[in-house]
Amino acid sequence: MQYILNMFVMEHTKRVAVFPGSFDPFTIGHKAILDMALPLFDTVIVAIGINSEKRDFFPIEKRISHIKEIYANNSKVEVETYTSLTIEFCKQKQAMFILRGLRNTTDFQFEKSIAQMNRQLSPHIETVFLVTPPEYGHVSSTIVRELIRYGADISNYIPGKIE
Ligand code: ADP
């Protein structure tokens, strides 16, 4: 009976995922993960975490408009900012899934601890990991920021344009 009830709830609940990160800036690696996730969910909220400990490179408004522009024709993608714990933001948005991308074992070790902590805090929110396509395994916002600092061309690493 419980199983049938669960199946009913799953069938009739919108599948909302939160894709949290700094996205400073949003790279082709982030886009690959988001594009792979879109068929799995009804809505994916790209959630830009505002963290007072971290120094921004691109202003929040630029990051939001960059991602919104890339997905202007896809109504499944929403872009928001948040300042709370990720799971609190998920509850507020009635999202049952957290989306994260994995590039390597370092990402995996780090992500595993966060996912286990989140599960303990909120057992009903599931973390879903997608593995990056091999051609994007070396792409990170940190490296893109470094390229910008030295005036190098970043167009191969950024979808669309960011001012
Ligand atoms: P954070 O600020 O939490 O480190 P990021 O903004 O760097 O987050 O990235 C958000 C998510 O995207 C993370 O799950 C990260 O592992 C993933 N990600 C970043 N770059 C890539 C990439 N090249 N391929 C796959 N996943 C990636």
Protein residue with its CA nearest to atom 22 in ligand 1: 29
pLDDT for residue 11: 66
Exposed, middle or buried: residue 7 (CB in 10 Å: 0-12, 13-18, 19+)?
Answer: exposed
pLDDT at 53 over 80: no
Q: Is 136 close to ligand 1, i.e. is its CB under 6 Å away?
A: yes
| CA 30 to centroid of ligand 1, rounded, Å | 6
The answer to whether residues 102 and 40 touch, using CB atoms and an 8 Å cutoff, is no
pTM over 0.95: no
Digit-coded pLDDT (tens) for 119-149: 999 999 999 999 999 999 999 999 999 999 9
Q: How many CB atoms lie within 10 A of CB 5?
A: 9
For the chain, the domains span 28-95+102-149
| Average pLDDT in the chain | 93
Return all residues near 47 (Cβ < 8 A) that are at least 6 apart.
18, 19, 20, 21, 80, 81, 82, 86, 89
- Out of 15, 54, 68, 112, the active site residue is 54
141 catalytically annotated:
yes
Pocket test for ligand 1, best of 28, 33, 46, 108 (most atoms within 8 A of CB): 33
Digit-coded pLDDT (tens) for 73-105: 999 999 999 999 999 999 999 999 999 999 999
Mean pLDDT of 10-36: 93
In percent, the amount of the chain with pLDDT more than 70 equals 93
Question: By 3-state DSSP, what share of the chain in percent is helix, strand and coil, each rounded to 5?
Answer: 45, 20, 35
Q: Is 29 close to ligand 1, i.e. is its CB under 6 Å away?
A: yes
CATH node for 28-95+102-149: 3.40.50.620
Residue corresponding to tokens 């799995």: 40
d(CA 27, CA 146): 13
pLDDT at 1 over 80: no
Tokens describing residue 140: 């990170």
d(CA 158, CA 163): 11
